[in-house]
Amino acid sequence: MNVCVTALGPMENSEVDPRFGRCAYFVFFNLHTRAVEAVKNPNVEASGGAGIQSAQLVASRAAIVVTGHLGPNAFKTLNAAGISMFSGATGTVKEAVAAYEAGKLARATAPDSASKSGIAS
């Protein structure tokens, strides 16, 4: 099962990016094999729809999202795809995955940031 962590860089020791739709990287961590794959987010500079497009990219590769914050469009798209979402992640990708596995992250039940809030970050 793959967990997607939003990150500022492509490595396990990269810091979590608090944004979802406009994060720098999506780091996919396989909970069974411990394999890591990073994908540069093609939606960072999108003029609109970054949350939806990023959610569609992630939904095809992971069952779980771990991030700092989720906007309404990303939340709605991930929820419709059946993706479990956890927000409030900080630290490194590795630390965020460990926090998820230990049950220390809150399940996202609603968006916790405004639409287009990642543009200014």
Domain range list for the chain: 2-107
* 93 neighbors 27 (Cβ within 8 angstroms): yes
Give the pLDDT confidence score for residue 112 in this predicted structure.
76
Whether 6 contacts 74, CB under 8 Å: no
Structure confidence by residue, pLDDT tens digits, 67-93: 999 999 999 999 999 999 999 999 999
Q: What is the CATH number of domain 2-107?
A: 3.30.420.130
For the chain, what is the total number of helices (H) and then of strands (E)?
Answer: 3, 6
Residue of 8, 31, 22, 3 lying closest to 90 (CA atoms): 8
The SS3 call for residue 118 is coil
Torsion of CA 46, 54, 72, 110, to 10 degrees: -160
Confidence (pLDDT) at 121: 44
What pLDDT is recorded for position 116? Answer: 54
| 6-60 per-position pLDDT tens digit | 999 999 999 999 999 999 999 999 999 999 999 999 999 887 889 999 999 999 9
Of the candidates 11, 29, 19, the one whose C-alpha atom is nearest the C-alpha of residue 113 is 19
